[in-house]
Structure 1
Amino acid sequence: MSKIELNDKKIQILEVSEKLFSERGFEGTSIRDISKAAKINIAMVSYYFGSKDRLLESLIIYKTSDLKLKIENLLHENLEPIDKVNKLIEIYIHRINCNKGIFRVLHFEFASRKKEENLQAFTELKKGNLKLVESIIQEGQAKGVFRKDVIIPLITPTIMGTFFHFHMNKTFFQDLLQLDTEAKYDAYIKTSLTNHIQQTIKALLVYEN
């Protein structure tokens, strides 16, 4: 599925869909629920997007279309491989922190092969981003700074899994780390959590001294 043409009505439907999918789950949200919340005729939602699966595909593209471009640009930056990896992690954490709703739906509700096949846009997005990550790591391997035995497809799940464990246990970590405001919580994600993930990935990639 290519980049979609958007108008104000489509954007309104997509924003409402993300909110409802995040709150109620994909299966727990109907097209009727979306049309009611968006205050748009149900036929209009179907006209723009067809099925609920196609609506979700459009939402994926709407929320993540610039991620691939950011990683492509990073690939060509004049940085050392480890600096590229650190910047890649910052990009990923920022992206999923800004779009927690859609990423949570995608990563926790669509583990089955049938769903994966129905959401081709999500599959292609993951494959494309993986190839870009592979290119960055292979550059480091060619320079002799990254280990040859790295399991590259597990790098992204390590990044995202750490973030989502932190986020899904938000109240626990807010109490534990005294993050008593949203500002402190978000700042912790941008600094300490991101730095922790960077250190973790570096330990996986770089040869031990």
Structure 2
Amino acid sequence: MEFSEKQLEILHVAENLFSKNGFDGTSVRDIAQEAQVNVAMINYYFGSKDKLLDDLFTYRVEKFKMDESILNLTSPVMEILDEMISSYIKYMNSSLAIYQIIAIEAGVKRRLMLSDSYKNLKEHNLQVISSIIHRGIETGEFLSGNDPILIHATMMGTFMNFQMNKTFLKSQLNITTDEAYSKYMESTLVIHLQRTIKALLTYAY
């Protein structure tokens, strides 16, 4: 779906307001005022606030799709797994505003979970993980019996924990800036996830 320059401007404003105030805490009038347009224009472009949210997710969804091009690499499967985890965490970490919206609206109010974009995203990511796992099983490096859904949940759950408990974890880790915290997630946290998921995929039950 392609958006006009004015639509993108409205979407960026809505993204900022939704991430700060929540979907319910943001009115169409708030968005119109911040974007310096009238309410009628927003209704014309998007139809409703719910449709605007869905279009925002459609616009940003590529950021949350795992890069399937890594499946074409001829590298050892362990390296492909490492790259998948590293790039996925970095993509999510670079789009915190939309992630915060997803965490609330999809996890609590379930609005986005009903959209085709959300379902397609989940199916795409699970397919990428499944392909990597199957390749590892075929090469004898991974053991069978691991559910891609659980591997994905391990990644997402860990990332979500670090985002939802940011203030507390910064104090525990003696990190004073958001930039340093972001770097920690893209280095130390990524390494932790790589080791954890490799252990799960190679552990004999």
Answer yes or no: same fold by TM over 0.5.
yes
Classify the secondary structure of the residue corresponding to 2:32: helix
Aligned to 2:5: 8
- 3-state SS, counterpart of residue 103 of structure 2: helix
For the Cα contact (< 8 Å) 2:19–2:100, is it kept in 1? yes
Taking the aligned partners of 2:122 and 2:107, their CA distance within structure 1 comes to 14
Which residue type is aligned with residue 97 of structure 1?
N
Pairing partner for 2:126 from 115, 125, 130:
130
Residue type at the aligned position of 1:165: N
Query: Unaligned regions of 5+ residues in structure 1, if any?
Result: none
How many percent identity over aligned positions?
A: 38
Deviation at 1:88, TM superposition (A): 0.9
Q: Following TM superposition, by how much is the alpha carbon of 1:116 offset from its aligned partner in structure 2, in angstroms?
A: 5.0
> Is 1:173–2:169 an aligned residue pair?
yes
Is it true that 1:199 corresponds to 2:195 in the alignment? yes
The answer to whether the 8 Å contact 1:53/1:118 transfers is no
Structure 2 equivalent of residue 186 of structure 1: 182
**CA deviation profile, 1:47-88 (whole Å, cap 9, x unmatched):** 1122222222221222222554x6221111122222111111
| CA-based RMSD | 2.0
Query: For structure 1, which segment, 121-130 or 58-67, has the greater mean C-alpha deviation from structure 2 after superposition?
Result: 58-67
| Residue 51 (structure 1) aligns with | 48
Name the counterpart of 2:78.
Answer: 82
Letter in 2 for 1:23: K
Structure 1 residue runs of 4 or more that deviate by more than 4 Å after TM superposition: none
In 1: Cα distance, 2:46 partner to 2:167 partner: 36
Distance in 2, Cα, partners of 1:87 & 1:104:
24
Q: Which amino acid aligns with 2:70?
A: L
Structure 1 contact 35–45 (Cα < 8 Å) conserved: yes
Deviation at 1:28, TM superposition (A): 2.2
Q: Does 1:161 align with 2:148?
A: no
Count of residues in correspondence between the two structures: 204
CA distance in structure 2 between the aligned counterparts of 1:162 and 1:45, rounded to whole angstroms: 36
Partner in structure 1 of residue 115 of structure 2? 119
Q: Given residue 24 of structure 2, which amino acid in structure 1 is its aligned partner?
A: E
Tell me which residue corresponds to 1:147: 143
Query: How far apart, CA to CA, are the structure 2 residues paired with 1:113 and 1:134?
Result: 28
Q: Counterpart in 2 of 1:24?
A: 21
Change (3 A) 1:123 1:113: farther
Cα distance in 2 for residues equivalent to 1:32 and 1:138 = 50
CA displacement 1:26-52 (0-9 Å, x = unmatched): 222222221111111111112112222
1:114 CA displacement? 6.4
Q: Partner of 1:36 in structure 2?
A: 33
Determine helix, strand or coil for the equivalent of 2:68. Answer: helix
Once the 2 structures are TM-superposed, how far is the Cα of residue 113 of structure 1 from its aligned partner? 9.1
- What is the CA–CA distance in structure 2 between the aligned matches of 1:117 and 1:94, rounded to whole Å? 23
The letter of the residue matching 1:89 is I
Aligned-partner Cα distance in 2 for 1:186–1:111: 23
Q: Is residue 2:92 matched to residue 1:96?
A: yes
Say whether the 8 Å CA contact 1:16–1:38 is kept in structure 2. yes
Cα distance, 1:113–1:37 mapped onto 2, change above 3 Å: closer
- Equivalent position amino acid for 1:176 in 2: Q
Tell me the TM-score normalised to structure 2 length.
0.90
